[in-house]
Structure 1
Amino acid sequence: MSTRPIEITSALPPLVTARRTYLMCPPTLYDVDYVINPWMSGNVHLSSRERAIEQWNHLYRELTAIADVELIQPQSGSPDMVFTANAGLERNGTVVLSGFFHPERQAEEHHFRSWFQSSGYNVLEVPREIPFEGEGDALFSSEGTRLWAAHGPRSVMASHTHLVRAWGVEVIALHLVDPRFYHLDTCFAPLEDGFVMYYPQAFDAPSLVKIEAFYPSEKRIVVSEADAVRFACNAINIDRTILVNDISRELVAELQTKGFEVIQITLSEFLKAGGAAKCLVMRLGPQIER
């Protein structure tokens, strides 16, 4: 199937409750080869690939116990392919492919495009001059009624028009203001049953108003800076299970009081590149016959 420009499709129906599917990429070629975010600074070639593989395998085992996983193979020259959340955003068989802000990651676009096309997805693209970094900067609310989309270090607000056209969904813009939290999924996590986990200082004041207008106070889980820099918000949430990097006992306890089971997985090698659990997966629709 050939890639074509984005055009309006039918409105987004409610999300289904079938067993979820995620895309992952083994870290066999993973390294910190360059600096394109603050976390990479001082960590070039200091990540242990052996430990990274062990940590990734731990996440893979925990995830496959409760979800299906599709794999894309890593490619030479693209060490950040392991962070598949940045490949694009998918709903109902349509993928809006990422157009990376930094040239260091733009080679990934071809590999992800080929995988999505060969897997039967309808692949749409934003213009090259409009950076958009997929699920890293665009997250659906748990019930699927709106799409939270960031603009700031890596994605621009002009990309939001293309997201509206792709699915006919309401898009709510959030402005990221802390360079440490350069993607939305590093500081904001919509959770099941209408909860949200977020780090307020990552957003400007108008964005916080939008978040707090949508989520009532009893549904907000505010993350401290200490947990935010552990990428606590970079969590995978499936039903009442949360897979996340090591976080504080206090935050674990709060999540448990909200009815969530927390599975902590040490992902220190990936933090050196600015990613954790959520960065390592991209949510897909039901598995496609090939």
Structure 2
Amino acid sequence: MSTSVTNLNPNAINAVSILSSARPQLLMCAPHLYDVDYVINPWMTGNVHNASRDLAMKQWQNLYAAVSEVADVLLVEPQPGSPDMVFTANAGLLYNGEVAISSFFHPERQGEEPHFRRWFAEQGYKVLDVARETPFEGEGDALFSEDGTRLWVGYGTRTLESSHDLLRAAWGVEVVGLELIDPRFYHLDTCFAPLVGGYVMYYPAAFGADSLREIEAFYPEDSRIVVEEADAVRFACNAVNIGSTIILNRISEELLARLSSLDFEVVQVELSEFLRAGGAAKCLVMKLGKALDAPRLT
């Protein structure tokens, strides 16, 4: 799909999605207001006001086109004062029609919360608020295993371990915490990607020893795709996986060969301007479920 999204109407996108077949739905936010305005992770250091918004838009449009081939994309309107709204994975976490809205650790991003809360409520989702004293950063730090039997939740950098109790109590799901120990990989989705077929792609050095044992106990050795540091810092694990398609930033030939050998179709999209803020493909996308299962507009 090559449609330009510079002036897309979010309502038109929503209408198309609702009428479509049961393809996965994803949430994105165009980078009209994107910039690196502050430093809240190591990637932003030295990059304040150093990103090209024009290039970011072109890269985002390429990502939008790639994901639109395999899913329906809904858009949330960017809001002044919230340059990181483009990273919609951090908006919240969806489970069975209910969205746990993020409670951002850093004040710089807390202004996004009412905009995302309003958007989800308007779409008919039930909204679960997370207390300010319990930082939780949505799908950035919380990822379901591919079979849906386990919710992996990162902690130690931007999401507190105490948030796990809220998710267990609200949804009755198995929650397993993974300690993040490398500040470069401040969200779980920067270093850990559950994939279709029961595979996982991960960067082991990002995790504490006990957490690494949890991962390796759950995933058999032949289902683990270990990412080396050179690919990890390109955010290879920050991947969008829909069916057999994996969409991600540029990666090494070695990792490409490994994924291809497992019958994944790998789509590489240059996302250099978003790496300046500490994000890549997965950060720019939030999963909303299947179109026919999603709340309907009235």
TM-score computed with the length of structure 2 as normaliser = 0.91
What is the CA-CA distance between 1:18 and the residue it aligns to?
A: 3.9
Residues 83-124 of structure 1: CA distance to partner in whole angstroms, max 9, x if unpaired? 000000002110000000000000000100000001100000
Whole-angstrom CA distance in 2 between matches of 1:157 and 1:254: 33
Name which of structure 1's ranges 166-175 and 130-139 shifts more when overlaid on structure 2: 166-175
Q: Does 1:288 align with 2:284?
A: no
Aligned residue for 2:210? 206
Whole-angstrom CA distance in 1 between matches of 2:225 and 2:38: 34
Instruction: Give the secondary-structure state (helix, strand or coil) at the position aligned to 2:182.
Output: coil
Contact 1:231 1:245 in 2 (8 A): yes
Q: Percent identity?
A: 66
Aligned residue for 2:244? 240
Aligned residue for 2:276? 272
Aligned residue for 1:69? 73
What is the CA-CA distance between 1:166 and the residue it aligns to?
A: 2.3
1:149 pairs with one of 149, 153, 156: 153
Q: Does 1:194 align with 2:201?
A: no
Q: Which residue type is aligned with residue 276 of structure 1?
A: A
Residues 4-41 of structure 1: CA distance to partner in whole angstroms, max 9, x if unpaired? xxxxxxxxxxxxx9411010000000000000000000
Q: Which residue type is aligned with residue 295 of structure 2?
A: I
Aligned residue for 1:14? none
Deviating above 4 A after TM superposition, structure 1's stretches of 4 or more consecutive aligned residues are: none
Whole-angstrom CA distance in 2 between matches of 1:143 and 1:165: 20
What is the number of equivalent residue pairs in this alignment? 274
Q: Does 1:47 align with 2:54?
A: no
2:116 pairs with one of 104, 112, 115: 112
Whole-angstrom CA distance in 1 between matches of 2:170 and 2:72: 25
Name which of structure 1's ranges 61-70 and 271-280 shifts more when overlaid on structure 2: 61-70
Residues 261-281 of structure 1: CA distance to partner in whole angstroms, max 9, x if unpaired? 100000000000000000000
What is the CA-CA distance between 1:288 and the residue it aligns to?
A: 2.5
What is the CA-CA distance between 1:218 and the residue it aligns to?
A: 0.2
Instruction: Give the secondary-structure state (helix, strand or coil) at the position aligned to 2:186.
Output: coil
Whole-angstrom CA distance in 2 between matches of 1:127 and 1:231: 30
Q: Does 1:59 align with 2:63?
A: yes
Whole-angstrom CA distance in 2 between matches of 1:289 and 1:189: 29
Aligned residue for 1:11? none
Where structure 1 has 5 or more consecutive residues not aligned to the other structure, the ranges are 1-16
Whole-angstrom CA distance in 2 between matches of 1:167 and 1:238: 24
